Every structure is written in C-alpha cells, then in structure tokens.
Structure 1
Amino acid sequence: MKDIGLSVILLLASSVAALKPSIEVRGVSIEDLQKYQPDENGKWACLGNPEVVLSFSQINDDICDCPDGSDEPGTAACPGTFFYCRNEGHIPGKLPSSRVNDGICDYDICCDGSDEAGLSDSGLTPKCENRCAKMHKEYIAKKEAKQALLKAASENRQKLIKKAQVLRENLKKEIATKEKKVEDLKLQLSQKEAELEIVEAQEAERIAANTVPKPKVIDDAQESLEFLLDEYKKFEAEIASLSGQLSQLSSVLEQMKGDYNPNFNDPAVKHAIRSFEEFKGNNPETSQAHIVNAEKLGAVSNIIESLKSYTPPAPQQSNQHSFKPSFDLPLFRFSDLVKKVRNLLVEFSIIPDNGESSSMVQPESVPTDTNVSTELTKQRNIVSNTKTSLSETERQLQEARKSLETEHGPDDILRALKDTCVSSNLGEYIYEICFYGKASQKSTKDNSSVNLGNFENVSIDDKSEDGALILYFEKGAKCWSGPIRRATVSLTCGKETALLQVTEPERCEYFIFGTSPAACAQYNPQAVDSASKDEL
C-alpha cells in the first residue's frame, strides 16, 4: 500500500513537470524551443559545439559566445545567423540577424514586431506593434483572389485544350479525306488521259484523211533557201575576217606613216606610203553594209519555218454540196510565199532586182487546221481540270500535314489560338501579336504600322512557376540604319490573353510581356487549395 502511494505521488509529480511551460527564448521557433532549456544545474551547451557550455543566462545577452552563434538567436551579436519571427496567426518568417534591434520594424517579415523587442524592452525605441492579424486578413483576401483568378484561368485553359483537341481531330479527318481524294483524282486522271489518247488518235486519223499532200515544190524551195542561207552566212563570215585583216594592215601602215622621217631617202618606203594614201583616197571608209542584220536573217528563218509547217487547206465539206479539192487556192498562197522569198534574196543582193520584187514584207502566219472536234476539246478540258484539282488537293494535303506536325505548345493548346490576334495600347504605340502570324507596332499618331517579326517557334520557360510560354517572332522590318527587328513574347498564366508591357533593351529588339490561360500548364487547383489551408 505504501509503494502504491509513492507511485501515485511520483506520477503526479511527473505530470506537473510535463505541464510546466518551457522558458521563452526570443528568436527561436516553437519547434526549436526545447533546444533552449537549461539543465538541472542551470547550464546550456552550444547547439553546434556541445563542448562549449554556458550559463543559461548568457543566451541572448548580446555577446556571441558560441562558435556557431546559436547562443544569440534573438540579437544581432553573431553575424551570419537568422532571427526567427513566429508571427502567430500569420506566416512565420526569418530575418537576417543584422536587421535585429536596428530600430526599424520589418513588418514584411516580422509582422509581430519581435525583431525590435530587445530595444523596446530597454525603452530605447517605441514598441513595434503586432500587425499579424491585419496582414493575415489582407494576405488571405489576395490569396483567395489569386486562387479565383487561377481557377478561372484553368477553366479557360481546359476550354482551349478541348478546342485544340477538336481541331486536331478535324485535321486528321481532313487529311484522311484529302488522301482519299488524291488517290481518286490520280485514278480518274489516268483514265481521262487514256480516253484523251484515244480521241487524239481518232482526231489525227480524221485530219490525215482530210489533208491535201504538201506540193513537192515547197520542199524544194525550203531546201534551196536553207542552202542559200548557209552559204551566205559563210560568205559573211569570210568578209568579216578579211575586213578585220584589212583594218589591222591599215593600222600598221598608219603607224608607219606617222613614224616615217621624210629626211631619209628610202624610195621603197616613200612608194608604199604614197600607194597607201591613194588607196585611202579611193576607199575613204571600210563599209559594213555587207553584214546582214539580225532582222533580215530572222525573216529568212521565219520563211523557212513557214515552208516546213505549210499545210494545204483541207477540202471543204458541206451537208448540201461536195466538190473536189482545187489547187487554185494553195497555188495562189504558194506564189505569194515565193514572192516574199524573192524579195529577201534581192534584199541580200543574192539575185538582181528585175523590178518584180517589192519591199520586204513579214511572212504571214501559216494556215493551220483549226477545225478541232468538240469531243477533243472537251476531253482536253476534262484532263486539264482534273490536273488542276489534283494539284490543289495535294497542296491542301501538304499544308494540313504540316499543321498537324507543327509544335503548338503543351497539350497542343496553341492550336486553339492559331490565327488569333491580340493587341494593346501601351503608350505611343498599339502592339499586336498574331499567333503563328506576325507581331506589329502601330503608331497612335499617324496609324503607321511596322512589322516586328514573323512567328518562328514557341518554347516553355522552365524557370517560371506556371510554365510561361515564350513566342519568338523573327525577320521583321529593318530598322533605319539598324538591324532587322525581332520580338520575344513572354506569356504567363492569366484568365485572358492580353499584352501588358513592352520593353526595348536593345535597339529594334522587343520584349513583350502578357498573360494567357494557355500558359497555365503548371497550375494545380488542388495544390493551391491545400497551400491556402496550410497557411491559415
């Protein structure tokens, strides 16, 4: 019974000891407060250097006794240490010890004013009031507003993702449809080309059956004219060569004439110079009239080509009358062609002019058979239209595939903003960016616009908290006596897509800052809710 009573007494004693409050030490968190309690002898060991034992009264005595500075958590005595602000009712903070008891209330970190309590206790400065309750209320209001904004931005982002998914699926369907259409058009074109070959063969047979043979005299005239043209070109080249030699000889004689000294009695030289002067008198200038100009040679070539492609007219047919083909008309046309050839030969002085020739006339177009059947024209149009449709469909298919493969940011979200433009009046200019388009700067004074760059690519800023999107616009308009303009657009998480600020750190290099729900990839509503509750 005696032992039981003693046990009860010891249990009560230990319970009372457990209920005994810890000694308060300024500048220490509640979790670390147990580390700052004296032993049964009123002693205390430095936390980082337990071999150094101090009297408990030496803690926060404004003298740095521990090598690690752990004995002065509430003063500025030990450099490089931190003061812990408990900020009850708000968020705890850490303040560099150098700012403790400096006469300044650092409410941004220590809203409870505990960083200046040492001076206040000594009566050296007015006491820093505790503003934690007020500041926490403001903090919660801002936190809730930000949370609401982020939730709205997240909802808008989900809408953009769904829109991008629909657009992507539609693009895949379009590609499949275009691929099927391309195959169908290729097959259709192959069939139509085969049909066209049949119609063309039938048309060739019809034309051949209704074509009058070319008179032999035309072939003979063509061959003779080609021979004369080749001979004349050789003759012209020989004359040109002799003319060059003559010019060179004249130059030599002219130099000899200039260098000749009449005081020297040289009969041979005198005779040569006298003969040269007589030659020059009889031939004052070397004529270039023998060189046939390009226009005349071209006319001859045209005549030859006309003879090559000359086709006598097909016999005329009628539902009411039929008649034998007459050579009166082709013979008349051929005689007219012969006259033109004769005129050219006279112009070239190849044959004499006996008065029958007239002035040079340009050859008329050679008569051709324009009686192409309606069926052939129809088939040619069908093939041409099918080729055009195939080419356009292949172009559209290529663009669709390229769009599907293009990088559109996380979750393909920027696909939903493609071809969307956003602008903002930021001072003297209105700045505008078009996703996958261009960035521009428009003056508010004269409405003049400048291209700041064309969309190049997009990346994610890994350093940002919410996964900011970086859009690059390159190869804009050239600055006056400067570089080519370029713009970098940084979009952070926001409810709406908007431009907020523009800077130009380097000439003609622009940095545009804005917000967009597309840049909220890292936002987690549950994480924000949890963080807010923990901080409360």
Structure 2
Amino acid sequence: MQALFLLTLLASLVLAHGNSLRGVNPDLASHYSGHGGTFTCISGIPKTIPFARVNDDYCDCPDGSDEPGTSACHNGRFYCRNLGHEPRLLASAFVDDGVCDCCDGADETKGKCQNTCLQAAAVRKEALRGKIQLHEHMLKTKNDYVERARAFKEELQLKAPTIEEDIARQQAEVQNLNAEVTRLEEEEAARQAEIAAANQAAEEARRAEEAQQTAVQAEESGSGQGEDAESANTVDSHAEEVRGESQGEREETPEERGRRIASQWTNDPEAAAVEGQTEEHLNADDSGGDDDDGDEEGHYDGTMDDDTEGHFDYPDAGAEHTEYHAEGHHRQQRPDPSSPLGLARTAAFTAARQLQQLQKDRENIGTFLNRPIDFGPDDIFLALANKCFSSYQTRWTYEVCMFDKAVQKEGHSNSVTVGRWYGFSEDYKVMYFSGGDECWNVGPRSMTVYLSCGLDERLSDGEEPSTCAYSAKMTTPAVCTQAELEELQQQMVNLEAFENEVRAQIMKDEL
C-alpha cells in the first residue's frame, strides 16, 4: 500500500512539473519530468539534452519537442490550455508574435492579453443549448410518430371486418347519385332550350318592331320636305306609274320602299333601284325582298344595326352564372351550387371521394395488417407509410418510398426500379431495397439507405458506388434517441459546473 502511495505521489509530481512548463501538451507531460536532469527528444533520432535547455528559445531537437513554449522550432506545437473553453494546439510560429491566439492569452507574455475564454465558452454554451432544444423537439416528433402509427393501426382494425360491405354500399350510393345528376342535367338542358327559343322569338319580334318604326319615321320625314322634295315625289310617282304599268299590281317590297324613300332624300331617281340591278331587272323580279337584318339564308348574324354584337339576357339572369359563346350565340348556364343540380353534383363528388378512401383503406388493410412487415420499435416507421422522399442530383433523381420501392429517374420519362422493400438492419439505422430491375451482366439492382437523427425526413447523397448497387442518406426523427439527448445535457451540466472554478482561476492568474 505504501509503495502504491509513493508511485501515485511521484506521478503527481511529474505531471505537476510538466504542467509548469509553458506550452506543454498534457498528453506528453511525462516526457518533461526532468528526471535525471535531462530531456530526450520525443520522436525522430534519439537525442538527449540537459533539461535546462528546454524552452531556452533554441531548437535542439529535430522534432521541436524541446521548445514547446517558444517559437524557436519551425515544427513546434504550443498547447493552449484555454481553461473554461476548448484547448487547442498552436503552431509555435504564433507564440510571442504580439497577437493573442489563445483565449487565455498564454501564447503571449503575461498581462498582454485579456482572458476571453469565458466569452468563448458562453458562445459554445448557447450553441449547446440550441442543440438540446432541437433534440427535445425531435424526440417529441418521434413520440408523435408512435402515436400516429398506433391510431392508424387501430383505425384499420376497426374497418377491416366490414370493409367489403362498406365498399359495395358506397358504390351503390355513387351510382344512384350519378343517375340523379344525369336526370337533372337533362331537365336543365330542356329548360335551357326553352329559354333559348323564347329569347329567339323575342329578338325576332324586336327586330320586326324596329324595322316598322324605321319605315314610319322615314315616311314622316319625307312628307315634310319643300318644293324640291315635291318635285322628286312627282318624278318618283311617274316612275312608279311606269313600273306599275309594266309590273301590273305587284306589291312594293320593303327593300324597294326603303330605296324609294332614299331617292326622295337624294333627289336621285336611280337610288330607288336595287344595287347591281337595272330597272328591267326590278320589273322582271316578282319575288319579295329579304329582311334587311338577315343574311343570305335569312338567319340573324349576331349584329345590331350599329354593328355591335347582340346580347340578350335570360329571365332572372342575375341569379345564375352564364357563359356566352359567339359561335351560334349559345349560352350555357352554370347551375347555381345551391340549385338541385348543383347540390346533386356536390353530393356525387363527395360520395366518389368517400369510395376512393374506402378502396384505399382496403389496400392498407392488406398491406399493413395482413402482411408480416417490421415497422420498427412501437411501429414508429408506420407513420411514414405511403410516403416517398427524393434526392436530386446533377443528373439523376433518387426516390425512396417506405415499404414499397426505390427508383432512379432521369428527367420525367426515364426511370428504373433500383430495389423493392426488403427490411431494416437490426438497429434500424439502415433500410434495404433489393430485387430491383435487372442490370446487364450484374443481376437485380439494389439500394441501401443509411438513417440518422434529423429534424425531418430528408433524402440526400444518392449515388451508385458500384455497378447497379445504389446508396443514399436519410435523416428522420424516428431514429433519434434519448441517450443522445442525455449526453448533450451532461455536457451542459459539466460546462455550467466548471464556470465558477474557471472564474476563480482566471482571477488568480490575472493577479
């Protein structure tokens, strides 16, 4: 026991002596014990010098180990203790160069540098606090994944016994609602046809009334002219008599009547003739003229007398949504969402969505309840089922779908399956995809995905390290651990516990 005590005391004295030398790395302190009054160079050619020549500002050892606290050796290393912060090794060229490189100022003469290690430690402490908060958040997300997986499985288990009956019933509901929509659409189409016919009749009546009013106004204007107009009337009457004699008792057409009135205004008897026709042509034409608002076939051309497009309002048009189409002047009304047709369409759409969800539930029951798949501890990875994650590289895009497959894509059309779901490693830090598409002269493709703790699911570093064997990295809260958080928390405890000791030591060193 006494011998053990003496050995411990000797080791303490050696370490204390080594630490008393400026710039000595604690890991190498045993070499600077001064035992026997000599120092042996640590590496390279063995060389022993008097211990008094250590840190004498002259380089004796080829490895520079005899000058840990000066800048004499070009390859020397100065140890910054940086009490309260992170220690560091400094190239000896920076020792006593007038710049404070160590936060405790040990690389310069005493009193030249202010100790800033506590300030540096405060920055580190704040960064550590951020890491702890982030890890706590990730663990909370992980717990949410577990809860979501549990609820997902329970929901599927409740739906499984009646899923087929539910789907059949919903299919019948969709068919009935679609039939109702069809019936209401036919009724709506018939109503629109009636409205269109009524509008057309109203428009024809309006045009006829306008034509009649125009003719009456023209007659009234013609009867009030002076002597020149009377003379023109005489000439016109004579022409009419001549035409009457040649044509018999033929009734004047509206076009002829309009041109006759025009001749009264212009004092031009020729104006009464139809353009492009001689009087003989008029006399020979026993048929009546077309309505001047029509085209060659007597159809309305969609323009008013002032060359503007015709636009007609349906009854109660303000309460309905309509669309106007110039071609054929067809108006297709959109049913009000609150109308019977609008409500029927909404109900049919909702029922179809519900049917899709039931069919998806049936697929999930077959995949996640009836197949022997390992979803990790507490089924945590089940929360990521039916989700895919992508890694975009320079040329290729890698897509990984949990419990399904992994794909390599080039552009939007060229893709290849590089593996189908195989399972996890024992520690759930690796996902394996195997049995992908065949690779020439190699066999089926495969992919390995390495998981690490992260804030969310993020796939990265997709590559092909060997022919048709692919790999990628993926972060997820699902693999974060309580042990990692406890390690960070312990670092914070140690740092805070050390602060008071550091402050006391700094005050002592500055005296």
| Class of the TM-score when normalised by the shorter of the 2 chains | 0.3 to 0.5
Normalising by structure 1, what TM-score? 0.39
Q: Kindly name which structure, 1 or 2, has the bigger radius of gyration based on alpha carbons.
A: 1
